[in-house]
Structure 1
Amino acid sequence: MFNAVIISVLVLVVLSLLRVNVILSLIAAALVAGLVSGMSLVDTTELLVSGMGGQAETSLSYILLGVFAVMIGYSGITGFLVKNLIGLMKGKKALLLLTIAAVASLSQNVVPVHIAFIPILIPPLLQLFDKMKLNRRGVAVSLTFGLKAPYMMIPAGFGLIFHGVIVDGMNDNGMAIGYADIPLAMLIPGLGMVAGLLFAIFVTYRKDKEPKSADAFNQEIAAGANEDLIFTKFHLLTIIAIIVALVVQIVSDSLILGALSGIVLMFLFQVVSFRSGDEIVNEGIRMMGMIAFVMLIASGYATVLEDTGAIDRLVASTAEILGDNMFMGALLMLSVGMIVTLGIGTSFGTIPILATLFVPLSIAMGFSPLATAALIGTAGAIGDAGSPSSDSTLGPTAGLGADGNHNHIWDTCVPTFLHFNIPLFIFGLAAAMIL
């Protein structure tokens, strides 16, 4: 109970729930982790700062992506989307939420752009959400589902990477398994996420919710929906810039180069004037700056937890008390995975850490390779949905909070944690015992 991971994650969760800024909460959690592990404040701070570089590329790409998204909004092309959807989706909340979940799902496998679509698609739709009296927490759940469930179950795009991390982690630690086995192992936990999504759409967020008053930013970005829109050459040039940015990103496997190419084309095409560059960049930083800094601090926090050995000690101490009870073993492994991932904020980064100790433990307790893969994959993913530092929650907040009317913790993290981690726990346990 006095492990640095447990204590620091509790600090992170409590401070976040008390509405302390997530950056300050992460810094406090990292300092607590260092102190509990016997390090000084100075050494912990230095370790925190040294580890921040691990997410520097991702953070820069998010900033540039925010700038590109603002440019697209200023072009007015999103007004066409909003105007058409207002008529098409009127009174069809469930269909809209399912559509958003489907679009988000495409971002993981078919067109692997991850959260890149959110700041482009969601802010112009905020006015539509308010007119429909749609609860934005339902939108957050739909977005997070699309950012997680596909890569858990489908071996394409980010899913292929995720499955590869599981395969490598298990093979490197003495349990042979192939790529073809992972989709089967992750099918049952993935169905848990489907159940959580459907419950959120058709039960939890079915009722109307009166919108908060929109600020000037929301009114400006959605103003095009109330005008008589004419398709101009600048709209066509904007579409070309979006396509080029997407192609460059996929070919180069770099969000930075993709966003930069789109930004440069928007200037060269004169869709946005060079004189408005400062205003555009400021708006882009306002939209995505928070997520960029959180990713930096989260990387430093993960470094503190790993370098102090706190994660290894947590998993090892868990193994000592398991005995040969397979059900309790599965339950505790999933619990450890949730605690670690809540703090680090990435299932991809958690898998190698957990596999090192979970594989020998699974072998000793008699779990099959499929059951072990299900445990490792679910344990890695189970805290990601509700983590304050996960891009699966930060991305939806960046889009839904563009007008300042969406709280990261209470409107994104808490709903996604409840609707996904509870069914992931249940279905993950079932997979471990069945497979």
Structure 2
Amino acid sequence: MNAVVIAVIVMLLLSLFRVNVVFSLITGALIGGVIGGLGVEGTIGAFSEGVGGGANVALSYAMLGGFAVAISSTGLPNALVEVVLKYVGNKEEARTKKLPKALIVFFILLMACFSQNLIPIHIAFIPLLIPPLLQILNELEVDRRLIACVLTFGLVTPYMLLPVGFGQIFHEIIVTNITESGLTVAMDDITKAMIYPAAGMLCGLLIAVFFSYRKPRKYEKSVMPAAAAATEGYSKSGVAISVAAIIAALAAQIWTESMVFGALAGIVVLYASRALRWNEADNLLTDGMRMMAFIGFVMIAASGFANVMSATGDVERLVEQAAALIDGNQTLGALLMLIVGLLVTMGIGSSFSTIPIIATIFVPLALELGFSPMATIVLVGTAAALGDAGSPASDSTLGPTSGLNVDGQHNHIWDTCVPTFLHYNIPVILFGWIAALIL
């Protein structure tokens, strides 16, 4: 049995049985490494080498958490809540109105989509936007699983479809790796091909919105971390400084291409303006970092898991084994390629890192099976994007959880990963499979 398949299955099963995701990743890596021939010492060594790759992401999350709580202390979230409540009506009216719920969901969807293309900040907006909105979402009795699906759709679909921001990087990686594997394609072809799996994502979103999670769901009154709820009121000057800090953070992040230095720039503005009091700053920033610590540890463990899987050599072997099973059958070939992509991305947690792994085998195999260039793009692009929604180690699921679980009422696996897996990976496989056969 392939070590990667076993490792991913172990990790997912443990997670589903509510074993901590970090321990699930470490256990899956250990079992996969031993089965893959690395031995215990070799597996530990590969894991230890890999964890360094997640350190930057973990530090980014910690800094964002600190910045988010610092912003909360200025009163900006309270101002945001008041503005939103002004448009959705008072609390009693809010429960009976469908329009306010629709407007808030649409607003969150827009922000998530913009974070990939228009203002490429990825998940940095989530700890700033979602926690203050939980009070309103609770009043409207919005199912947080719906918000998780909305956020994940916005974090994944735009980069799949549009060659702007993170989408440009994703499309360039597809073009580069497909071309290096023997098939020349153009950037313009990627959007035309990826419209099919993107339609699968849209289908999943519509099912989540209009069927799965349309019923009200009650939550206890949100109990925010002490630092985040420190300010009951707000001042215009505090709000203005907060907005300036956010602009500085976004500008610095885009300029440096680092969430760490983006958050640092925002915190410096708060310090310099004295909106963040020196005698309170240490406790506030520490509370914020603690809020995001879980996600940071997951990303570190995921990086070690991915390195162990790469060290076994079974990722490439998995692709080759799938190719051997196909035996010239186009229909079976397309389905197996997509499933392999799903398994690899579920374990690694990154669509971008999956493309180089699968393209070297998938492209020659697709050409041998008689797939057109457009169908080949669909297979490679869809196989890579599969699993980004639903993977416990993906920032497309970790990001939504970081905002929705601030008060401890949203489970990462059962409220984010399982809903997004079911609503997105199943229709994306179906749409990508059909597209590969008809193009």
1:8-407 to 2 correspondences below 5 Å: 8-89=7-88, 90=94, 91=97, 92=99, 93-215=101-223, 217=225, 221=228, 231-407=235-411
SS at match of 2:175: helix
Unaligned runs of 5+ in 1: none
- In the alignment, the residues of structure 2 paired with residue 427 and residue 222 of structure 1 have an alpha-carbon distance, to the nearest angstrom, of 44
Identity %, equivalent residues:
49
1:5 maps to 2:26: no
- In the alignment, the residues of structure 1 paired with residue 304 and residue 230 of structure 2 have an alpha-carbon distance, to the nearest angstrom, of 40
Q: Do the aligned residues in 1 keep the contact of 2:75 with 2:234 (CA within 8 Å)?
A: no
SS at match of 1:386: coil
Q: Do the aligned residues in 1 keep the contact of 2:138 with 2:221 (CA within 8 Å)?
A: no
String of CA shifts for 1:66-125, please: whole Å, max 9, x gaps: 100111111111111112212424323233222211110000000000000000000011
String of CA shifts for 1:398-425, please: whole Å, max 9, x gaps: 0001111110000000000011001101
Q: Do the aligned residues in 1 keep the contact of 2:75 with 2:238 (CA within 8 Å)?
A: no
Q: Do the aligned residues in 2 keep the contact of 1:153 with 1:186 (CA within 8 Å)?
A: yes
Residue range with higher mean Cα deviation, 281-290 or 167-176: 281-290
- In the alignment, the residues of structure 2 paired with residue 313 and residue 236 of structure 1 have an alpha-carbon distance, to the nearest angstrom, of 56
Q: Do the aligned residues in 2 keep the contact of 1:108 with 1:147 (CA within 8 Å)?
A: yes
Q: Which portions of structure 1, spanning 4 or more consecutive aligned residues, are displaced by more than 6 angstroms?
A: none
String of CA shifts for 1:241-298, please: whole Å, max 9, x gaps: 1111111111221211111111111111111112223312222122211111111111
- In the alignment, the residues of structure 1 paired with residue 273 and residue 373 of structure 2 have an alpha-carbon distance, to the nearest angstrom, of 54
Distance 1:247-1:7 versus aligned 2 partners, 3 A rule: same
Q: Do the aligned residues in 1 keep the contact of 2:66 with 2:287 (CA within 8 Å)?
A: yes
Instruction: Report deviation, 1:222.
Output: 5.8
Residue range with higher mean Cα deviation, 143-152 or 363-372: 363-372
SS at match of 1:120: helix
- In the alignment, the residues of structure 2 paired with residue 95 and residue 126 of structure 1 have an alpha-carbon distance, to the nearest angstrom, of 15
- In the alignment, the residues of structure 2 paired with residue 87 and residue 414 of structure 1 have an alpha-carbon distance, to the nearest angstrom, of 34
Q: Do the aligned residues in 2 keep the contact of 1:79 with 1:222 (CA within 8 Å)?
A: no
Q: Do the aligned residues in 2 keep the contact of 1:75 with 1:271 (CA within 8 Å)?
A: yes
- In the alignment, the residues of structure 2 paired with residue 43 and residue 176 of structure 1 have an alpha-carbon distance, to the nearest angstrom, of 39
- In the alignment, the residues of structure 2 paired with residue 16 and residue 86 of structure 1 have an alpha-carbon distance, to the nearest angstrom, of 37
Instruction: Report deviation, 1:62.
Output: 1.4
Residue type at the aligned position of 2:243: I
Instruction: Report deviation, 1:53.
Output: 1.5
Q: Do the aligned residues in 1 keep the contact of 2:148 with 2:401 (CA within 8 Å)?
A: yes
Indicate the residue corresponding to 2:91 in structure 1: none
TM-score normalised to the size of structure 1? 0.96
Instruction: Report deviation, 1:216.
Output: 5.0
Q: Do the aligned residues in 1 keep the contact of 2:79 with 2:239 (CA within 8 Å)?
A: no
CA RMSD of aligned residues (A): 1.4
Residue range with higher mean Cα deviation, 251-260 or 144-153: 251-260
Instruction: Report deviation, 1:213.
Output: 4.5
SS at match of 2:267: helix
Residue type at the aligned position of 1:137: R
